[in-house]
Amino acid sequence: MLVTFSTDNYPNITMFGDDALAMLKMMGHSATVPGSIRAEDVSHALDLLTSSMAADKALPKVAAKNDEEPVVSTAHRGMPLVELLTAAVHANDYVMWNESTFIK
């Protein structure tokens, strides 16, 4: 599953489902897709996400499952979502997320 986050004033962000659900939980939301955050609540969700990412950064690195794959931190994976949330805060806009579908 892929999850796409969107707001009117920033390009959409698509993440792998496991990563997106983890980010939603860090923002204090259930792992329900689809979903949304009201404009007045986006700032709080951003604060929760950035503080969770900072705490995760302090944890020791976990080895990759495959030696050929690099370890990608939660902070690195979440940075595009932080930028989207920041843009939504500045524009006083809502954020939505949906399961992505691709037409073949």
Question: Is there a cis peptide before residue 34, judged by omega within 30 degrees of 0?
Answer: yes
Digit-coded pLDDT (tens) for 6-45: 999 999 999 999 999 999 999 999 888 999 999 999 999 9
Digit-coded pLDDT (tens) for 67-77: 677 777 788 88
Q: Mean pLDDT across the chain, nearest whole number?
A: 88
| 79 membership: H or E segment, kind and range | helix 74-91
Q: Any idea where the domains of the chain sit in the sequence?
A: 2-99
When pLDDT is cut at 50, 70 and 90, the band that residue 103 belongs to is low
How much is the average pLDDT of 61-66?
A: 60
Residues 37 and 45 sit within 8 Å (Cβ to Cβ): yes
